[in-house]
Amino acid sequence: MNKYINHQSKSFIIKISILISAIVFVFSFVTVTAKSIALVVNNNNIETVFNVNSFCIFIVKGDVETVVKLLVRGNISIKKGDGMTPVMYAAKYNRVEISKRFIEKGAALNTESSKGYTARVC
């Protein structure tokens, strides 16, 4: 069967094979990371911008389902860029259900933020 494939077809097949190999190679080094993004909260006409990761944004928005899925992926007591832990965000924005989940997972409630607050007094 190979003797019936002309030179142009062979060249095309080689090019496609190289292209597919290059795509597979590129995607084998791609990693998923949580980027820090800006969250704008507008409370009583006061606009505040936070540079936090997507996990904390899900907490602030009260997305319990997504937060629960992400809880299994990492240390829930690690401070974010502004010195607050995820449980501090839950406490600050009155996300009771999310706060309960953090407590069940053993979140450190006495860790202090850069301003000296803890999750108990946010």
Q: Is the pTM of this model over 0.85?
A: no
* Nearest to 92, CA basis, from 69, 109, 104, 78: 109
**pLDDT tens-digit readout, 90-120:** 988 899 999 999 888 888 888 888 888 888 8
Q: Provide the strand spans (E) within the chain.
A: 36-43, 46-53
Give the β-pairing of 36-43 and 46-53: antiparallel
Return the CATH fold of 36-104.
1.25.40
* Nearest to 79, CA basis, from 53, 100, 61: 53
**pLDDT tens-digit readout, 47-70:** 555 567 788 888 889 999 998 888
Structure tokens at 19: 């292209």
Domain parsing of the chain, residue ranges = 1-30, 36-104
